[in-house]
Amino acid sequence: MLAVTLDVMTLLANVFIKLIACEMHQNDEEWVKTVVEDLELLGLIFSSLFVLELAACLFSFGLSFLASWYHCFDATVILVSFFIDVASRGLTESIGSLVVVLRLWRLAKISEEVVMGATERLEILEQQVVELEDENRALRQQLDAEPHEYLSHE
């Protein structure tokens, strides 16, 4: 989640710096070029990490991982983002900034996975509550069925 957040922040910072530099007619300033290049390199590093994550998921779960439209779409976003980061020079650089929208999808994906994890945990806890209530009920019935010898010791 942290990597996705940092990736989106890097992309947004890159877009904002380009917009501000363009507005102030400072596109050719050395600091602008340096910062933009560094942010693009960071974006490529994040894209590479996401591709590695995708490869690890495919290795771990096999192609069945892509059976879900959700994971399939996410894999497409990762691969398209990576391709745009690698190929973003000249004209494709403008297209590359559109990948920000796609990468925001990663935040939605992470949020969905957190919710799914919490839902699964809640289901497990609910099952444990049912089991404990059944056990409690059985123990109460057992206590009611036994003679109340323990009361005379008080």
Query: Where along the chain do its domains lie?
Result: 1-148
pLDDT tens digits, residue range 37-60?
887 778 778 888 888 988 998 998
Q: Taking Cα atoms as reference points, which of 89, 82, 79, 98 lies closest to residue 36?
A: 89
Own/partner contacts of 19-28, CB < 8 Å, gap of 24 or more, are none
Q: What is the pTM of this model?
A: 0.54
pLDDT tens digits, residue range 60-81?
888 888 888 778 888 888 888 7
Q: What is the CA radius of gyration of the chain?
A: 27
Q: Taking Cα atoms as reference points, which of 110, 105, 103 lies closest to residue 82?
A: 103
Nearest-angstrom CA–CA distance, 94 and 61: 35
For residue 91, pLDDT beyond 50: no
